[in-house]
Amino acid sequence: MKHPYTYILFILLTSIVFNACSTKKDKFINRNWHALNTKYNTLYNGNIAFEEGREELNNNYRDDYWEILPVERLEVTEDIKLDSEDNNPNFIIAEEKASKAIQKHSMDIKDEERNPQTDEAFLLLGKARYFDQRYIPALEAFNYIINKYNYSDKLGEANIWREKVNIRLENEDLAIKNLKRVFKYENLNDQEYADARAMLAQAYINLDSLGKAVQQLKIASYHTKKNPEKGRYYFIIGQLYNRLNQKDSANYAFNKIVELNRKSPRVYMINAEIEKIRNTEITNENQAEMLEFLTKMEENRENRPFLDKIYRQIAEYHLEQKNDSVALAYFNKSLRATELEPKLNALNYENLAVYNFDKNDYKTSGAYYDSVLTNLEENTKKFRSTKKKLDNLEDVVKYEDIAQNADSVITLYNLPVDDQIAYFEKYVAKLQAEKLAAAKKEENRITAGFAQFAESKGGKENKGKFYFYNLTSLGYGKNDFVQKWGKRQLEDDWRWSKKGRALTSEATGELVAANDS
């Protein structure tokens, strides 16, 4: 009797599951079935892939602290990508999972979405496309949420992400207008409010409205719950104040980063300390304190990844204090410590080039300017100005060499005859000594080669044989002959290079023609 009940129960459960799988029925079981499958299956795996992709981007991204940092850490290429192009496989997986969730679990009944997780699927779809830098398809996904899901709890987030896309597409004015509308009409939580203010600041930075950007970043730094974001926003505020030539306000922002200490990435704190030093005028009162602080930064083991910038700051300090030799040493230490920092290399080489130029060492200065060029991007204003300096410097070096040669000739011409003879005799002796040294070096090389051959298996096999059967002796003799006589034809009177060679008469000491017959 148990089997019929089991069979009936199986049929009942199967029918329930089958009915629940339908996306056309607006029933409690249908809605929750598809919501659970969307959230804990496809979207769960998609979100994992998305976070892995973002982590990979963050690990590979390197900030350029010589320029104003972007609000968002994302390396952007110049080209706008389309659907057919992809980059990061994690974002492709996230997009596929989001698309699968939409296709299999969307419950669009009477033009209304009944699956409460579908809007999250569209949000993930847009985010994956955004970080894959396919902004037009991403914009479509965010617009779909805004236009379709009027009562979604993701509406505010979708609006913020849409304006991120507009900023990437250089539609800053539109982004500012839309973000102001979001603040007025949407209910945002603190983190969403901070994100929106930060993106509004980015739009103002792009439009060079730095004062307005500062105000937005102050609000964002107050509302964000993420300490790494706080540190980044404070640093950008400091950079903006520096651009506005408000050094005290900039240092106040940099001090906020120092106060965060380990709550924020150390890279922000180190760069903030360096910026504070640059903003501080060195006087007799703070000179020793400044050097002591820089020395502590150099000796702190936690600062090893940042020694390239610390060394450069120490070099600039000593250069300002006229300690030239120490400054040059630290510029070179910075160059040796630098990894993947072409702008830092360019700055160090430029300092060395300027120093040698001021010392009238134009050749060395030109070599350093050449190194500056290798660390700059072509088709930039800095590259063109440096190239012009180098070209002018090469002309200076050329004419300086001509002038030096002319001065040398004039100086020699003005010497007494005896001094001129002594100079040329000394010069000829030097040339002869160099020639003899070169010949001796070559002879030693050949001798060493034969000695090595003699110790080899082939050399030992020929040891003790008749001269012309001994390969070692024969080879040495042949080379010795060529060195002494050169290459001669096998003929009579081979010793004379010219048949009409002049000889000295032993009787008279006069030159006579040699008889070659």
DSSP string, 380-419: SHHHHHHHHHHHHHHHHHHHHHHHHHHHHHHHHHTS-HHH
Q: From 146, 169, 192, give the residue that closes a domain.
A: 169
- 86 belongs to a structural domain: yes
- 37 belongs to a structural domain: yes
d(CA 390, CA 365): 9
Q: From 127, 144, 169, give the residue that closes a domain.
A: 169
Amino acid, res. 500: G
Range of the domain at 160: 19-169
Tell me the pLDDT tens digit for each residue of 65-84.
999 999 998 877 665 555 54
pLDDT at 289 over 50: yes
Looking at residue 295, its pLDDT comes to 95
- 203 belongs to a structural domain: no
- 272 belongs to a structural domain: no
Q: Please, how many CA atoms are within 13 Å of residue 248, restricted to the half-sphere of its CB?
A: 0
- 449 belongs to a structural domain: yes
Q: Count the Cβ atoms, other than its own, within 10 Å of residue 56.
A: 15
Calculated CA dihedral for residues 87, 93, 99, 102, nearest 10 degrees = -150
Tell me the pLDDT tens digit for each residue of 342-377.
999 999 999 999 999 899 888 888 899 999 999 999
- 38 belongs to a structural domain: yes
pTM: 0.72
Q: From 142, 169, 196, give the residue that closes a domain.
A: 169
Q: Provide the pLDDT confidence category of residue 135 given band limits of 50, 70 and 90.
A: very high
86-92: average pLDDT: 76
- 361 belongs to a structural domain: no
Domain count, the chain: 2
Q: Provide the pLDDT confidence category of residue 503 given band limits of 50, 70 and 90.
A: very low
Where residue 59 sits, what CATH number does that domain have? 1.25.40
Question: What residues are paired with 502 via a beta bridge?
Answer: 513
Tell me the pLDDT tens digit for each residue of 211-264.
999 999 999 999 999 999 999 999 999 999 999 999 999 999 999 999 998 899
- 112 belongs to a structural domain: yes
